[in-house]
Chains A and B, each alone.
Chain A
Amino acid sequence: MSTTVVQGIGVSAGSAYGPVVRAGNPVTPPDNEAALPAAEVEPLIRGALEAVAKDLENRAASAEDTAASILSATAMLARDPGLADNAVERAVSGAGPATAIDGATQDYVNQFTELGGYFAERATDVRDVGDRAIATVLGVSPPGVPPMEKPSVLVARDLAPAETATLDRALVLAIVTEEGGRTSHTAILAAQMGIPAVVKVSEAKDFDDGHMVLVDGESGEVHLDPPPEVADALVQRRERRNKVLAGSTGPGTTKDGKAIPLLANIGGVEDAIAAGKADVEGVGLFRTEFVFLSSKTAPTVEEQTEIYRKVFEPFGERRVVVRTLDAGADKPLAFADLGSEENPALGRRGLRLSAELPELLDAQLEALSAAAHLTGADVRVMAPMVAIVEEAAWFARRVRENGLPKVGVMIEVPGAALRSEHVMAEVDFGSLGTNDLAQYTMAADRMQGELSDLLDPWQPALLDVIAAACHGASVNGKPMGVCGESAGDPLLALVLVGLGVTSLSMAPSKVPLVRYSLACHTFAQCQRLAHLARSARTAHDAREVVREHASADFTAVL
């Protein structure tokens, strides 16, 4: 019996195994619905929307905090004069009442979908309001979750907040939706209610009632019809893992107490606020591109200071490692465009661009310095795309002249990694950008999905280059961190630490498993794993040999 495994986005942790129950046959207006006289249709439409608003408010009154505020916000949509006017207008010009509401709803859904991102995720809320109003004018029961008789996994195209907020936790084992996103209301509510959930599983449209599914709200994997014994083993493993992760807190250390700070990668103010609340020891990579990408003119020192202040504040006295502007021909800025290039990844990007336009770098450093003084944050500044000693020295001088005490370089160019001993003598710390380092070591474009095998961070050649960079840093007594994706791989993290990496920066959600992985191994074990990985012939062999020799306490939860 074969199991299908499909991948979505895990938005609410936990795992479950149970039968599928499909939610929601959408309510559709009848074909060729008859128009009603204006005097009759207007109060019908307005009344239906008002009834939907009242119903949502009643639910809000008996719901918990987050659910209540989401339901009230949805009620506000139902009471929107624009939606009602649009529907009435359509009805007066000859559409049937349900058709008119449907058209008006779709108008807004289309606009929101076009705006993308956050707005697109709100489209579900508008659609739900419209569907409820249509059900009201047609006198049918509202769309949504069917009555459930036994604990089941709820599968839907998408779930509206009104539905999610009122789910019975005892009967809904997990939620799987075809659409949605990380910040959709379904995701927020499911996490709040502690119901495992996976969104954006397009294959879920083919999940029919009665099939068995295994849902992992952490990894986003959904298994369709797994053999029961496999499902049981997996559920137990996941439960063990969740228990271990819940107990994984505090600073990162190896089993024998060597401190390996665990840091967050962030790219904006919202990330900073979220990561500031997370159990991390600071920020290992703050990408500053967003400060520049949205504007047509160079942002002023004052504007930048204000943004940096907002980013630094959530971290109190914890460190924030800032990468200066990393633009180039592949992400051109309106005010710093040096023209198109044949090979943007190998062109005037990162520090090379800053060297051509030093006034941009100076303004950024001045703003970072001002924000550091305003907040008292432990700010450390590093340059992207450093290749040679002279660049490191040039950058270090400029940073220190701006009153910023700690300066570093990204190690993403193999040349800089191989000459790390001299490069690191110029600065206070280094940070390996393993994604770019892999691209340049293997001469494989990061944007080419077909080359992903070459870009595997387990490639022994990449590990050799990392080892060289760490050696050069340790000769100088300087720290060398990793801020590429490889830092978030709990097995590879062991190898990195064994190679001499002194801190790991990753998406905050990956920190707990990496922390647990470190806690299961001594530094000497990490060094042994690093040696085994570098001795392997292939990336695949490197991963396998490390997995095989890692502590059983750790591999039991993988």
Chain B
Amino acid sequence: MTTRTVEIGSSVGLHARPAALFVQAVTASGIAITIARPGGKPAPANSILGVMALGAKHGETVELASEAEGADAVLDSLVDLLKQDLDAEEG
């Protein structure tokens, strides 16, 4: 099992555009990944509803996990994505 922990960088938290970009990246990777709050129930990371329902705000931590082979590189890129302020590019 490969895991990563990351703080949400988007100032609005993990919803709206940041959540959509994240879910699209997960879907594009083609591997099964889960996302959870520390100690919380993991949700499939390809579900925008599941991701938004975490209610993760700016500066809060989430855990990514995957059993798939080659997950290291994918999770690293997702960590980079979540660290950014994904809402910043808009407008």
Residues of A within 8 A of B (CB): 73, 76-77, 80-83, 108, 111-112, 115, 118-119, 122, 126, 269-270, 273, 294-295, 310
Contact = CB atoms under 8 A, between A and B. Distances in A.
Nearest to B53: A111
A76 B23 contact: yes
Contacts of A82: 43-44, 47, 49-50
Contacts of A108: 49, 53
Contact of B11 (A111, A122, A310): A310
A112 B91 CA distance: 26
Contacts of B91: 273
A111 B37 CA distance: 15
Contacts of B12: 118, 270
B38 interface: no
16 contacts: A73-B20, A76-B48, A77-B48, A77-B49, A81-B44, A82-B50, A83-B49, A108-B49, A108-B53, A112-B53, A115-B53, A118-B16, A273-B91, A294-B59, A295-B59, A310-B11
Closest 7 CB pairs of A and B: A82-B47, A115-B55, A82-B50, A111-B53, A80-B49, A108-B49, A82-B49
B20 A76 contact: yes
A80 B53 contact: no
B57 interface: yes
Interface of B: 11-13, 15-16, 20, 23, 43-44, 46-50, 52-53, 55, 57, 59, 91
B46 A81 contact: yes
B15 A118 contact: yes
Contacts of B23: 76
A126 B57 contact: no
Contacts of B49: 77, 80, 82-83, 108, 126
Contacts of B11: 269-270, 310
A136 B48 CA distance: 22
Contact of B47 (A81, A115, A118, A270): A81
B26 to A, nearest CB: 11
Contacts, number: 47
B52 A112 contact: yes
B63 to A, nearest CB: 18
A294 B15 contact: no
Nearest to A115: B55
A319 B62 CA distance: 37
Contacts of B59: 294-295
B52 A119 contact: yes
B7 to A, nearest CB: 11
Contacts of B16: 73, 118
A85 B52 CA distance: 17
A12 B19 CA distance: 27
Contacts of B48: 76-77, 80
Nearest to A76: B48
B90 to A, nearest CB: 10
B13 to A, nearest CB: 8
Nearest to B46: A81
A122 B47 contact: no
B43 A294 contact: no
A122 B52 contact: yes
A413 B91 CA distance: 41
Contacts of A310: 11
Contacts of A295: 59
A98 B87 CA distance: 36
Nearest to A73: B20
A269 B52 CA distance: 21
B45 to A, nearest CB: 10
Nearest to A299: B59
A465 to B, nearest CB: 39
B55 to A, nearest CB: 4
Contacts of B44: 81-82
Contact of A119 (B20, B50, B55): B55
Nearest to B88: A310
A443 B1 CA distance: 62
